[in-house]
Amino acid sequence: MALARVVDLEGSGPRLPGAAMAVAEDGEVAGSVSGGCVEGAVVVEALEVLATGERRMVAFGYSDDEAFAVGLTCGGTIHLFLEPLDW
Amino acid sequence: MSDEMDGLFDRFAGLLADEIPCALATVVDGPGVGQKLLVRRTHRDGHEVDGTLGDDDLDRVVTRDALGELSAGRSGVRHYGERGEARENAVSVFIESFAAPPRMLVFGAVDFTAALVRVAKVLGYRITVCDAREVFATRQRFPLADEVVVDWPDRLLAQVGPDLRRRDAVCVLTHDVKFDVPAIVGALATAVGYIGVMGSRRTHADRLGRLREAGVTDEAIARLRSPIGLDIGARTPEETAISIVSEIIALRTGRSAQALSTTDGPIHD
């Protein structure tokens, strides 16, 4: 299982630091880290973390030039820490 | 991961299950990424530490900061040097606080109380219902309450009052001066952040007179939210409960409680 946690927030964001989401190897998900904007992308990142065993920081923000890219629509940026639940 | 981290998650989950306040510090950037320190207070001045961030000095500094964050109920990232030096950026540590839930004391075991207990439970309050009348203050009537106490409000407040903080709430729903005056006087003697008192405008005016007779100052009276709740036109116990908890949130955040569609500016601070 991998754990993704909101650790930092810049500007407006739906969830405060501490919001967390767990992703199992089979893709089963519990919890959430935003208002549903980035969860799909977090699952992909979490499965990579499970595959490699490597921890990582991931940021999601809003970008004007990539209107269809994954991001928060509210204008803020969230920083997530992803790690395997191996502790 | 170092050996100190073996089984740390289980010990952490155990503290959460037992509702023991703790803070979990995790290196999210820099050397030792993923290393963890689990910190909790044991008594007024003592604390217990589990795990390590990989350096004794860093552990010491982060333990101090984590205890501070836990007291404030805050979570966030802090930056340190590799040995815990201030004003350096080599290591980023996410400190996450798992504080005890806020408390709500509800005086008066009435139907409005039952609805308020249900709604406040959704917000995570640890709720005590108190009424001196044994037939009304029963567990069956308030199954979601954490505690149902048959006692006088002033006696309960003498006991738990010193532990109440800004984030806690006292709601006086008794509609009976025998109970509500001692409940209000007792609540005003604490540091509780919200004191709401139910009653019509007429009851409210009458109650103010009785409070002044009991020696309560205007300054203290200004702390009261009476009549209780926001003006959303609530009629049923459930609607009234929503209006009460909305007022508690707005008081904490200092926001206007207007419809967002009629205001501009940021939605959250």
- Cβ A23 vs Cβ A43: under 8 Å: yes
- Between B6 and A50, the higher pLDDT residue: A50
Strand-strand pairing, B76-80 and B91-98? antiparallel
Q: Where are the domains of chain B?
A: 3-98, 103-253
> Which residue in A12, A18, A87 is closest to B36 by CB distance?
A87
Instruction: Report the mean per-residue pLDDT for chain A.
Output: 87
pLDDT tens digit string along B128-185? Answer: 999 999 999 999 999 999 999 999 999 999 999 999 999 999 999 998 888 899 999 9
Residue B125 has pLDDT above 80, yes or no: yes
Question: Residues of B with CB below 8 A from A87's CB?
Answer: 1, 5-6, 8-9, 34, 36
Nearest to B98 by CA among B122, B123, B68, B75: B75
Residue A83 has pLDDT above 80, yes or no: yes
- Cβ B54 vs Cβ B61: under 8 Å: no
pLDDT tens digit string along B196-215? Answer: 999 999 999 999 999 999 99
What class has domain B103-253?
A: alpha beta
Residue A67 has pLDDT above 50, yes or no: no
Identify the closest residue of chain B to A81 by CA–CA distance: B28
Mutation pick from A49, A57, A81, A85 vs chain B, by most beta carbons of B within 10 Å, is A81
Instruction: Report the mean per-residue pLDDT for chain B.
Output: 94
Q: Do A87 and B1 make contact, defined as CB atoms within 8 angstroms?
A: yes
Give Cα separations from B21 to B12, B14, B167 (angstroms).
Answer: 10, 11, 15
pTM of the complete model: 0.82
Burial zone of B187 (CB within 10 Å; 0-12 exposed, 13-18 middle, 19+ buried): buried
Model confidence at A73, in pLDDT bands (50, 70, 90)?
low
pLDDT in the model for residue A15: 87
Hey, what are B4's tokens? 């100190």
